[in-house]
Amino acid sequence: ASEAKGIILDEPSVVAVYKGTNEVILDGLGVGVEAYAMLGKTPTNIEAVRPLKGGVIADFEITEKLLRYFLQKASDGGSLRKPRVVVAVPSGITTVERRAVINSAERAGARKVYLVDEPMAAGLGVDLPITEAEGSMVVDIGGGTTEVAILALGGPVTVKSVKVAGDDCDEAIISYIRKNHNLQIGPQTSEELKKTIGSAASLETEKSMEIAGRDTLNLMPRKAVITSEEVREALQEPLSQILRAVLDCLEEAPPEIGSDLLESGITVVGGGALLPGLDTFITERTGLPCTIDDEPMTAVARGTARFLEDLDLYSGFLSDGEDLA
As a whole number of angstroms, the distance between CA 98 and CA 111 comes to: 17
What own/partner pairs with CB < 8 Å and gap ≥ 24 does 201-209 have?
201/232, 201/276, 201/277, 201/278, 201/280, 201/281, 201/284, 202/232, 202/277, 203/228, 203/276, 203/277
The pTM score is 0.91
Centre a 10 Å sphere on the Cβ of residue 81 and count the other Cβ atoms it contains.
11
CA angle 294, 297, 302 (to 5 degrees): 85
Q: Are strands 52-53 and 221-227 parallel, antiparallel or unpaired?
A: unpaired
Instruction: List 209's β-bridge partners, or say none.
Output: 226
User: Residue 52 in contact with residue 13, Cβ under 8 Å?
Assistant: yes
**Residue-wise pLDDT tens for the chain (325 aa)?**
776 677 888 899 999 999 989 899 988 889 999 898 888 888 999 999 999 887 789 999 999 999 999 988 887 755 556 889 999 999 989 999 999 999 999 999 999 999 999 999 999 999 999 999 999 999 999 999 999 999 999 999 999 999 999 999 999 999 999 999 999 999 999 999 999 999 999 999 999 999 999 999 999 999 999 999 999 999 999 999 999 999 999 999 999 999 999 999 999 999 999 999 999 999 999 999 999 999 999 999 999 999 999 998 888 889 987 776 5
Instruction: List 213's β-bridge partners, or say none.
Output: 222
Query: In this predicted model, what pLDDT tens digit does every residue of 103-155 receive, in sequence order?
Result: 999 999 999 999 999 999 999 999 999 999 999 999 999 999 999 999 999 99
User: Residue 186 in contact with residue 214, Cβ under 8 Å?
Assistant: no
Q: pLDDT at position 1, please?
A: 78
Instruction: List 141's β-bridge partners, or say none.
Output: 146
Q: pLDDT at position 61, please?
A: 93
Type of residue at 271: G
Q: Which domains does the chain carry?
A: 15-119+302-317 (3.30.420.40), 129-163+243-294 (3.30.420.40), 166-234 (3.90.640.10)
Q: pLDDT at position 199, please?
A: 98
Q: pLDDT at position 97, please?
A: 93
Q: Are strands 146-152 and 266-269 parallel, antiparallel or unpaired?
A: unpaired
Q: List alpha helices for 198-277, DSSP H.
A: 228-252, 255-264
Centre a 10 Å sphere on the Cβ of residue 195 and count the other Cβ atoms it contains.
12
**DSSP codes joined into one string, 28-96:** HT-BTHHHHTTTTT--TTEEEE-SEETTEES-HHHHHHHHHHHHHHHHTTTTTSS-EEEEEE-TT--HH
Query: In this predicted model, what pLDDT tens digit does every residue of 302-315 receive, in sequence order?
Result: 999 999 999 988 88
Half-sphere exposure of 113 (CA within 13 A, CB side): 21
